[in-house]
């Protein structure tokens, strides 16, 4: 099977993999650059490393922010502010890719989880990424849902009061390492999403979830069980076990 490069571009780090259809055969993670020039330059070096001597003609990109899937363009990224209308076909034409795909990083993460993770076989799932910010994606009735302009899933913008949102409050609690507060905030957000979408399960990933999940997820489950008691089924909450799920999902974008 033809190999594909998958990139998972976040506000803190960028992970690139080579996917052969069954497994990761090469990978590398770099620090997210601080300028647009460095972004182009370092991504080029990353892609060249991943290619090696292989003739790889397909590239999939997952990135936090608003993505124009049709034109493979990143319209804006909340955690990489210098990215505005960044076109991967234009900026990567010199690397010989015949097919380029792009989508939101949370959508790529959930795509991988639905294909080979803990939510494989389920039809109604919410995927959440806890990293630099909070990202989200939905599968409803077995289909990936991104909304009218492919911009849905921005759960970090869920309002908490009039002057703040989930992402801002999440970042405050994370930076203070206040895991009880982080759990309460997450439970409140999941309660709202459960009432709106009625999912079978939540699957969460990202560095904060994977590393610190044991410290705040018990608070999430306790608060959510109490809030939903006697009203409806409490969705399962899974922590991703896939290594580099976002990059795998990016490599699967042409499927």
Distance of CA 27 to the CA centre of its chain: 18
Provide the pLDDT for residue 196.
93
Q: What percent of the chain has pLDDT over 70?
A: 100
* pLDDT of res. 9: 95
Cα angle: 60, vertex 238, 185; to 5 degrees: 100
The Cα 101–Cα 88 span in angstroms is: 9
Assigned architecture for domain 121-239: 2-Layer Sandwich (3.30)
Q: What are the boundaries of each domain within the chain?
A: 4-107+244-251, 121-239
Residue 161 backbone zone (phi > 0: left; psi -120 to 50: alpha; other: beta): left
**Fold agreement between 4-107+244-251 and 121-239:** yes
Residue 149 — very low, low, confident or very high, per pLDDT cuts 50/70/90?
confident
Alpha carbons 103 and 105: distance in angstroms, whole number: 6
| Tens digit of each residue's pLDDT (9 = 90 or more) over 228-250 | 987 788 999 999 999 999 999 99
Mean pLDDT of 190-211: 95
- 212 pLDDT more than 90: yes
Between CA 21 and CA 255 the distance in angstroms is 10
- The mean per-residue pLDDT over the stretch 26-45 comes to 96
- Given a contact cutoff of 8 angstroms between Cβ atoms, the answer to whether 59 and 5 are in contact is yes
Q: Is the pLDDT of residue 79 over 90?
A: no
State the architecture of 4-107+244-251 in CATH terms: 2-Layer Sandwich (3.30)
For residues 223 and 181, is the Cβ–Cβ distance under 8 A? Answer: no
């Amino acid at each position: 099977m033809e190999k594909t490069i998958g990139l998972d571009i976040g506000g803190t780090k960028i992970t690139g993999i080579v996917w052969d259809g069954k497994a990761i055969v090469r990978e590398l993670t770099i620090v997210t650059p601080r300028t647009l020039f460095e972004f182009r330059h370092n991504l080029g070096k990353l892609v060249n490393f991943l290619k090696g001597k292989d003739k790889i003609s397909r590239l999939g990109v997952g990135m936090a922010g608003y993505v124009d899937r049709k034109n493979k363009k990143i319209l804006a990224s909340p955690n990489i502010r210098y990215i505005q209308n960044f076109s991967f076909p234009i900026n990567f034409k010199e690397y010989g890719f015949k097919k380029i795909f792009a989508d939101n990083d949370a959508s790529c993460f959930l795509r991988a989880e639905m294909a080979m993770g803990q939510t494989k076989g389920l039809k109604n799932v919410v995927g959440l990424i806890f990293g630099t910010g909070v990202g989200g994606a939905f599968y409803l009735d077995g289909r990936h849902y991104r909304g009218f302009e492919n911009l849905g899933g921005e759960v970090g913008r869920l309002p908490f009061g009039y002057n703040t949102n989930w992402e801002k409050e999440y970042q405050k609690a994370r930076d203070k390492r206040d895991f009880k507060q982080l759990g309460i905030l997450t439970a409140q957000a999941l309660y709202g999403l459960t009432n709106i979408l009625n999912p079978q399960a939540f699957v969460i990933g990202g560095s904060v979830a994977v590393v610190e999940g044991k410290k705040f997820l018990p608070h999430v489950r306790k608060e959510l069980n109490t809030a939903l008691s006697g009203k409806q089924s409490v969705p399962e909450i899974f922590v991703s076990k896939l290594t580099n799920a976002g990059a795998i999902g990016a490599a699967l974008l042409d499927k």
